[in-house]
Amino acid sequence: MNVFELAYTALINNSIKEKIDLVTKLNNYKNSNLLDYQSSCHIKSIADPGRPEKPDLVRFKSVPKRDKSDVGMIKTIHAICHIEFNAINLALDAVYRFRDMEDKFYQDWIRVAFEEVQHFILINDYLNKNNYKYGDFEAHNGLWKMTIDTDYDVLARMALVPRVLEARGLDATPKIQKRFKNSNFKPMVEILDVIFKDEIGHVKIGNYWFNRLCKQRNLDSMVVFDQLIERHIGEKLRGPFNIEGRKLANFSKTELEYLQGT
């Protein structure tokens, strides 16, 4: 069972059900120690990962505003569902794309992909209970763009996808939960509790591998991170930041001071 071939098959699959099944099998193979982690296939560039025909993807600025009406709240839930679906592909790409890493690297990101599947199922099932489904509204493709932009180096990927994009989820979740608490969609508060706890683990995994790679390459992690932010984002990261959540994800005191501009 070659890990790269299996991850690629799951990554490019367009069917939600089949992608979920493939990720579940990949996770089971990992847990049963049945995976071969030797690189044996050519790395392909993937401009677009496997996804269903819907939702229609539009530019971020073209995504309709989500107000506090019931439909607006459903659109917010749909947006979270889209993030979780994208996160499955992000984790699969990390497994597939970067070779000659320790087995633990692949095992970590298979675990992330499997947990993102569970998150997607939770949100999509809740949409279904409210007579909606994933694909009913437009969405944007910003998450995958960063994946393409960091294809060239696992260090850049670890720096910017889990430590920036996923970590923003840690910053935003408590505020979103407050909105749901005072709405007709209170069950979303508990769903987001589950997701939040797992996402702390995902960001922690990104922090672990970023710092490990910096150490292996004899690089100053703060200098490298600042350079990558400048190269790929072009400006300082904007708060407010969930400091307690980021501490749980193993951001260092120096990193938190950097984020806060102190």
Average pLDDT over residues 55-79: 81
pLDDT digits (tens, 9 = 90+) for 157-215: 999 999 999 999 999 999 999 999 989 999 999 999 999 999 999 999 999 999 999 99
47-61, 165-179, 184-198, 228-242: the lowest-pLDDT one: 47-61
What is the b/e burial string over 213-245, where b = at least 16 CB atoms within 10 angstroms of the residue's CB? bbeeeeeebeebbeebbeeeeeeebeeebbeeb
CB 13 within 8 A of CB 22: yes
**Residue 136: CA count within 13 A, CB half-sphere:** 18
Query: Percentage of the chain surpassing pLDDT 90?
Result: 88
> Radius of gyration over alpha carbons of the chain, in Å?
18
pTM as predicted: 0.95
Domain ranges of the chain: 1-148, 152-262
What pLDDT score was predicted for residue 259?
94
Average pLDDT over residues 58-73: 74
With 0-12 / 13-18 / 19 or more C-beta atoms within 10 angstroms meaning exposed / middle / buried, residue 38 is exposed
How much is the mean pLDDT over the chain? 94
pLDDT band at 65 (very low <50, low <70, confident <90, very high): low
pLDDT digits (tens, 9 = 90+) for 96-107: 999 999 999 999
pLDDT digits (tens, 9 = 90+) for 69-115: 899 999 999 999 999 999 999 999 999 999 999 999 999 999 999 99
What pLDDT score was predicted for residue 42?
86
- In this predicted structure, the answer to whether residue 34 has a pLDDT above a threshold of 70 is yes
Residue 221 CA to residue 66 CA, distance in Å, equals 37
Question: CA–CA distance from 35 to each of 18, 139, 196, 260 (Å)?
Answer: 20, 35, 29, 42
- In this predicted structure, the answer to whether residue 142 has a pLDDT above a threshold of 80 is no
Question: CA–CA distance from 221 to each of 165, 200, 229, 244, 251 (Å)?
Answer: 18, 20, 12, 21, 12
What pLDDT score was predicted for residue 262?
61
- In this predicted structure, the answer to whether residue 245 has a pLDDT above a threshold of 90 is yes
Residue 220 CA to residue 205 CA, distance in Å, equals 19
Residue 158 CA to residue 148 CA, distance in Å, equals 13
